[in-house]
Chains A and B, each alone.
Chain A
């Protein structure tokens, strides 16, 4: 901090000098008290968010196991876990499944469905809109354990409602088409977010623009293409990134299929669980977790860049 002899021009706020010696934030908190206000939250975040993220890097470099000799005395194995993970076909299987999961349920499913519903209901205000939105949102806010079982019940081969409606009793959805099942499930589950986002975005399109296009003779499709999409283009990309990030990290397929049968729906989140907590290979699991963290980092940085360039 500058001392009292500094020339006036060099002084800023909060510095001691011929000017005032007190803080000029609205309530006069001052830096010290403000720091004390922020500290507890930062402490908790550092302990339970930052530290685990760093710790997982360390774990990935050891041969830690849940049971056995290595549990008592883990040793440093360098990048063995990472090379092991990359060489493991199970890892690549899970990665590929996760890509399908994200593409299918987020990029295509939730976005298309969310936008469609928002577009269909854009001009309506009444009970129909509230009913549709209410049901979509219900799917989102119900606890994950409950909705997972609702779908297990829906897809049950003998008594499930889907087979009853389609008239094909005995068809084992979860066994024969596990990926399709979880993709549709996740689409159903997550559409609400995209629906509300696009609803807000559509609401921000100035009606005068749409009306000018209509007066010029544009059809619904043309209005969509020429007026609406340019306005919401920025939102589409940020929305995509965000829900892709969420879906990539989503653990709920575990609740539906537990990764089976035979790992045919074992997305990365479930894979980590199986490797680390069921097989007990914590080191290996940590390596995969690190890879997940890195992928998250890339997507998140990209997302934040986009957000910044918009504002």
Chain B
């Protein structure tokens, strides 16, 4: 063991330790404060109390907001999955005129029209058309935003599925709709599941759109309620924030674990192309 090697090892582990600390420290509060009676900003050993959770349950807007988040996420995911699947299948298998231009435009659109860029027109239109406080309206808007990327990802998936299954069924006499029902849908189920989870994860954490377009507290999702908890009414309610924040975070973490276990979901950051 040369000195150089030992130094290298020490350097490596030091760096890793620093990185671990950097990523762990901000998270500590989230796992200690909810279980501490009368929590402060300090990170301390918790005394394992459930009273904070009780406070969350008793809070008039906390749990309902989780339900709202669920409604928005699942609603958007359903809409996105169905519409994107239909579009992706058609675009993958049939040579429609202008297909390549359309795909390029979709990609461009989804990168350009972000929440930040669209907040003004969307807000103004919602006010004008009296659509503020419409959960359905919000679902439609969120779906519109997620669809281009979803179509892209699903089309990629369908492209890599061999056509021989569909052709085989066709030669056996199945009609196109029968083929889609019997053969295509079962084959692309993993892709659909991935898109559904991706959509849910996206909407679950989305702050800007609901903040903008939902003013009724009873309709607001957890993202907005969390923000409200620390910006309205003087002192931040640390008991609620920590505990509610934890409850709000758990589903997304569980989803990620589930998907990565089942499908080995590793998002390659676009390298796969």
Contact = CB atoms under 8 A, between A and B. Distances in A.
B120 A150 contact: no
A146 B249 CA distance: 8
Nearest to A137: B256
Contact of B115 (A47, A165, A196, A251): A251
B191 interface: no
Contacts of A282: 120, 123-124
Contacts of A297: 108, 112
Given A48-B141, A161-B28, A273-B119, A307 B269 contact: no
Given A158-B41, A293-B112, A44 B120 contact: no
Contact of A27 (B107, B109, B113, B180): B180
B256 A27 contact: no
B54 interface: no
B263 to A, nearest CB: 15
Given A144-B223, A293-B117, A37 B87 contact: yes
B153 interface: no
A132 B16 contact: yes
B271 A197 contact: yes
A292 B245 contact: no
A235 B271 contact: yes
B26 A251 contact: no
A249 B116 CA distance: 6
Interface string A26-56: 1111110111011011101101111011011
A200 interface: yes
B37 interface: no
B166 interface: yes
Contacts of A23: 94
A152 interface: yes
Given A26-B166, A141-B256, A301 B208 contact: no
Contact of B86 (A38, A152, A160, A293): A38
Interface in A161-212: 161-162, 164-165, 188, 193-194, 196-197, 200-201, 204
B100 to A, nearest CB: 11
A40 B184 CA distance: 19
Nearest to A235: B271
Given A37-B90, A161-B43, A293-B112, A188 B22 contact: yes
A237 B148 CA distance: 23
A55 B119 CA distance: 11
B49 interface: no
Interface residues of B, number: 101
Contact of B184 (A27, A38, A197, A255): A27
B83 A143 contact: no
Interface in B227-250: 227, 230-231, 236, 238, 241, 245, 248-249
Given A145-B226, A149-B226, A296-B117, A161 B41 contact: yes
B34 to A, nearest CB: 12
> Which of A141, A201, A301 has its CB near the most chain B CB atoms (within 10 A)?
A141
> Main secondary structure on chain B at its contact with chain A?
helix
Contacts of B236: 149, 152
B207 interface: yes
Contacts of B272: 200
Nearest to A158: B41
Interface in A271-298: 272-273, 276-277, 282, 285-286, 289, 292-293, 296-297
A216 to B, nearest CB: 18
B201 interface: yes
A31 B215 CA distance: 44
Contacts of B104: 304
B143 interface: yes
B91 interface: yes
A149 B230 contact: yes
Contact of A44 (B110, B143, B223): B143
Contact of A238 (B108, B176, B270): B270
A156 B41 contact: yes
B271 A201 contact: yes
Contacts of B112: 53, 293, 296-297, 300
B271 A143 contact: no
17 contacts: A23-B94, A28-B179, A33-B176, A42-B87, A44-B140, A143-B223, A143-B249, A149-B245, A159-B42, A161-B41, A165-B25, A188-B22, A239-B269, A277-B212, A289-B120, A296-B117, A299-B111
Interface of B: 12, 15-16, 19-20, 22-30, 40-43, 79, 83-84, 86-87, 89-91, 93-96, 104, 106-125, 127, 140-141, 143-145, 147-148, 151, 163, 166-167, 169-170, 175-176, 179-180, 183-184, 201, 204-205, 207-208, 212, 222-224, 226-227, 230-231, 236, 238, 241, 245, 248-249, 252-253, 256, 266-273
Given A48-B140, A55-B124, A141-B252, 7 more contacts: A47-B144, A145-B245, A149-B236, A150-B26, A258-B231, A282-B124, A289-B116
Sorted nearest first, the 8 A-B pairs with minimum C-beta distance are A48-B144, A197-B269, A159-B41, A37-B90, A143-B205, A34-B94, A34-B90, A145-B226
